[in-house]
Amino acid sequence: MYSEQERKAGVRSERGYTSATVLSTAANYIMNTTESFTHTYRTYIRLRENGELKLKFWHSNTVDSTWDLGQESAGSEPGGEWSIEAAYVADGGLEPDGSLAAGTQVPVTFAGRACKQVAAGEVFWSDEAVLKLPEGHVLAFTWTLKTRASGKSIPFNVEGMLVSAYDAPGQLASQDTADGFSVSDKLLVLPSYIGYKKEVTKELVFLGDSITQGVRTEKDKYDYWAAGIAEGLGPDYGLWNIGSGWGRAYDVATEGAWLHKALRGNEVLIVLGVNDLDIGKRSAEELLQDLAFIISKIKEANPETAVLLSTVPPFNFEGEREAAWRSVNTQILASPPAGVSRVFDMAAVLSMPSPVDHRIRPEYMSNSDDPHPNGTAGKAVAESFLDWYFKV
């Protein structure tokens, strides 16, 4: 199922760390340029805990999920050859304005080296970096990346920004100031896993699409439902959000990088299906088959992993897509695929009353034309999930 490299350096190979943030850094796009480049990316991230942190980063040089119809990037597509010229973590202060607290940058190294050559499709861990981050301050992660040639190179996330980020041409990773940096738009360029050393009660992985990622909620507010669940559970529960905009179940079913990530959890919540039924034009039967396959692979990798399956959230489907949505959710509730421990009915939280329950409540829409759940919906889903989760 996985290569020898994935077994030795995959995200499951290091224990004793848990995800330091609820921000998803799943990749759904890939840089494709007409010439080589050197560029610096700086991102500000609220962590689940502050203080003295032992941080470690893992990266998968592969696209997780398909964007649009796959013209530019497809699920499990390997990234190209590129290099990390320098990487740092630092105190990003109270406001993410592009600058850093002077003198706080700590180098991130790879097998003792500041630079790292990245091969196509490679997975790898960083060394541990120790940073003291005051309460209320955000982490700033900065790295300079360099491509060897034109063409496809670095996977990243192209959805609307959920956190503040800045980028600049050239090698500016060691710079404390914001000079030369511009505000990033639809350009989240981060390691795949941002971990910190901590023993936790459980490792939960949230595997989903843009609704899990939190797309269309406010930047830097962390008011999507995965963030609300993390806050409600507290830091003794690990939580890794790998929601990916425009992702679909059949991307996971390719048995590539995205599924490999999900296997880190000893509990996995799956919230997939909107894009399968929508842009993917899958039938109810095809979607259910893909979900069953994903669940079987999770259980095959570790029979003790608890699989939590959600109903497909409402997305204002009409016609054949509405019928398929109803069929899938009826099946999930009545007879979920083998291996499912429990079913969470997210659709019931977000939907209008019957008979128009295929539509999301207007107050939960990110705007009048977009059925992506907003922050109010995120709070409602988080509260409902937590109530359901602790009902044994």
Q: Which helix (H) or strand (E) holds 309?
A: strand 306-310
Report how far residue 149's alpha carbon sits from residue 297's, in angstroms, rounded to the nearest whole number: 37
All structural domains of the chain: 4-193 (no CATH), 201-390 (3.40.50.1110)
In this structure, the strands spanning 267-271 and 306-310 are parallel
Mean pLDDT within 151-164: 98
- Across residues 297-303, what is the average pLDDT? 97
Instruction: Provide mean pLDDT across the span 165-171.
Output: 98
Q: How far is CA 92 from CA 52, 97, 174, 253, 332, in A?
A: 15, 8, 13, 38, 44
pLDDT tens column, 272-296? 999 999 999 999 999 999 999 999 9
Read off the tokens for 233.
Answer: 């559970």
Give the CA distances from residue 163 to residues 46, 134, 215, 223, in Å, rounded to whole numbers and listed in that order. 9, 19, 11, 12
Please report the pLDDT score of residue 363 as a whole number. Answer: 98
What is the band of 4 on the pLDDT scale with cuts at 50, 70, 90? low
H or E segment and range at residue 169: strand 165-169
Q: Which two tokens stand for residue 5?
A: 């490299």
Taken in order 382, 386, 388, 389, the sign of the CA dihedral is positive
Instruction: Give φ, ψ of 327 to 5 degrees.
Output: -60, -45
pLDDT value at residue 94:
97
Q: Give me the pLDDT at residue 101, please.
A: 98
pLDDT at residue 2 is higher than 90: no
Instruction: Give CA–CA dist 18/6, Å, rounded.
Output: 18
77, burial (CB in 10 Å: exposed 0-12, middle 13-18, buried 19+): buried
- For residue 157, give both structure tokens: 């996330």
pLDDT bin (cut points 50, 70, 90) of residue 5 is low
Confidence of residue 6 (pLDDT cuts 50, 70, 90): low
pLDDT per position as a tens digit, 125-150? 999 999 999 999 999 999 999 999 99
- Residue 365 confidence (pLDDT): 98
Q: How many Cβ atoms are within 10 Å of 348's Cβ, its own excluded?
A: 13
Q: Tokens in use for 82?
A: 């590129």
Report the alpha-carbon distance of residue 356 to residue 346 in Å, rounded. Answer: 16
Q: Give 28-50 pLDDT, tens digit per residue.
A: 999 999 999 999 999 999 999 99
Residue 311 CA to residue 248 CA, distance in Å, equals 14
How far apart, in whole angstroms, are the C-alpha atoms of residue 275 and residue 67? 10
Helix or strand holding residue 387 (H, E): helix 375-389
Residue 1 pLDDT > 60: no
Minimum mean pLDDT among 11-15, 82-86, 222-226: which range? 11-15
**Using CA atoms, how far apart are residues 276 and 46, in angstroms rounded to an integer?**
31
Give the amino acid at 386.
L
Q: What is the pLDDT of residue 9?
A: 84
Q: What is the pLDDT of the chain when averaged over all its residues?
A: 97
What's the average model confidence in pLDDT over 102-118? Answer: 98
Phi, psi of 29 (to 5 degrees): -150, 170
Which tokens is 97 given? Answer: 């304005």
Q: How far apart are CA 124 and CA 128, in angstroms?
A: 13
Q: Is 236 exposed, middle or buried (0-12, 13-18, 19+ CB in 10 A)?
A: exposed
Does the pLDDT value for residue 389 go beyond 60? yes
Please state the rounded mean pLDDT for residues 195-215: 98
User: pLDDT confidence of 385, banded at 50, 70, 90?
Assistant: very high
Look up the pTM and report it. Answer: 0.97
8 A C-beta contact, residue 147 and residue 82:
yes
Which of the four pLDDT bands, split at 50, 70 and 90, describes residue 333?
very high
